[in-house]
């Protein structure tokens, strides 16, 4: 993964597209997480920090959860920072897990809320199975410790990793994945599988736009073509896992297939040690306006 881009002498962030913000009101971060999924900051705390960093717009894209959006929107109004409604959905493409980012959604849409409630129940069942597998291999983790980590958010493997670390059952957050709960690990459990077609249908019902999140080096053009055919609106071009070469590659695909582009820090904070990414991996506000215009074209 490339090292984060450092701030310039003027105090304005130097961004991965090579530009320097002429003012603090021209950049947006469209990929952030709060305590409503696996982030370390509350929606209020995250928007406050984004404001301090000079961002003009932020999208809260919690995993399978929209519970933090109202708090973030209200905080954004008080600080003069736009909060774009968002969501990160997990889907299955073939035998691969893929993440989709949804933007400008109606986060009170009944179909969307019903699905997310169902999916949170499935996440809890998965966590129970993972803890059961850990116990069988003599790792004495309790489900209560995991749920305490999750708080109001949808429970996921990051919460299990944090619980393992806090209870001294692993030495690092990443060791929890490598040794126990990562793909192929002794306590790994597949999550509920949502197809891209069903995800696009859900996002469309909520009047939003769908983007492929952090495709990295491992998403093939054939897989991308299948997603586009089924209704993908855009690709996340700027991301901490994308160096300049990958950014240029995905910019080329965006132009080739007449897609939209997005970008952001994928900020979580806490034990993921990515506190430096917020305000560094950003896109021009003009790109956000282009996304918005697609909704009304």
CATH number of the structural domain spanning residue 210: 3.20.20.140
- Quickly count: other Cβ atoms within 10 Å of residue 294's Cβ: 15
Average pLDDT of the chain, as a whole number: 89
Q: Collapsing DSSP states into helix, strand and coil, what is residue 229?
A: helix
Q: Residue 3: is its pLDDT beyond 70?
A: no
Q: Residue 11: is its pLDDT beyond 70?
A: no
Which pLDDT does position 95 carry in this prediction?
Answer: 80
Q: Which of 13-27, 100-114, 139-153 has the lowest mean pLDDT?
A: 13-27
Sheet bearing 27-32, strands edge to edge: 260-263, 234-238, 209-212, 96-103, 82-93, 57-60, 27-32, 283-284
Which pLDDT does position 274 carry in this prediction?
Answer: 61
95 and 220 part of one domain = yes
Cα–Cα distance measured from residue 59 to residue 267, given in angstroms and rounded to the nearest whole number: 11
Residue 144 lies in a domain: yes
Residue span of the structural domain in which 84 resides: 24-107+197-295
Of 152, 181, 210, the position where a domain reaches its end is 181
203 and 283 part of one domain = yes
Total domain count for the chain? Answer: 2
**CATH code of 134's domain:** 1.10.150.650
- Report the C-alpha dihedral over residues 62, 39, 71, 127, rounded to 10 degrees: 60
234 and 96 part of one domain = yes
Residue 126 lies in a domain: yes
pLDDT category, 273, cuts 50, 70, 90? low
Residue 161 lies in a domain: yes
Residue 124 lies in a domain: yes
The DSSP secondary-structure symbol of 25 reads: G
Q: Residue 12: is its pLDDT beyond 50?
A: no
38 and 76 part of one domain = yes
């Amino acid at each position: 993964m490339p090292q984060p881009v450092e701030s310039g002498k003027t105090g304005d962030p130097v961004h991965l597209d090579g530009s320097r913000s002429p003012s603090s009101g021209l950049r947006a971060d469209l990929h952030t997480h709060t305590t409503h999924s696996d982030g370390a900051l509350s929606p209020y705390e995250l928007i406050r920090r984004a404001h301090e960093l000079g961002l003009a717009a932020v999208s809260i894209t919690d995993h399978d959860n929209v519970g933090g959006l109202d708090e973030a929107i209200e905080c954004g109004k008080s600080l003069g920072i736009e909060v774009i409604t968002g969501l990160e959905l997990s889907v299955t493409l073939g035998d691969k897990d893929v993440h989709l980012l949804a933007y400008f959604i109606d986060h009170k849409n009944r179909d969307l809320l019903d699905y997310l409630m169902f999916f949170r129940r499935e996440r809890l069942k998965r966590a129970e199975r993972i803890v059961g597998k850990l116990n069988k291999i003599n790792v004495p983790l309790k489900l209560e410790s995991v749920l305490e980590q999750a708080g109001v958010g949808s429970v996921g493997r990051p919460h299990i990793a944090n619980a393992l670390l806090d209870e001294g059952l692993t030495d690092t957050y990443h060791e929890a994945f490598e040794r126990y709960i990562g793909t192929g690990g002794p306590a790994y459990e597949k999550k509920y599988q949502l197809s891209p077609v069903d995800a696009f249908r859900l996002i469309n019902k909520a009047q939003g736009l769908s983007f492929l999140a952090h495709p990295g080096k491992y998403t093939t053009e054939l897989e991308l073509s299948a997603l586009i055919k089924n209704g993908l609106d855009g690709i996340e071009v700027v991301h901490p896992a994308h160096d300049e070469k990958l950014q240029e590659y995905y910019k080329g695909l965006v132009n080739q297939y007449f897609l939209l582009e997005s970008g952001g820090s994928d900020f979580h904070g806490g034990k993921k040690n990515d506190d430096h990414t917020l305000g560094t991996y950003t896109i021009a506000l003009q790109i956000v306006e282009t996304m918005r215009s697609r909704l009304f074209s």
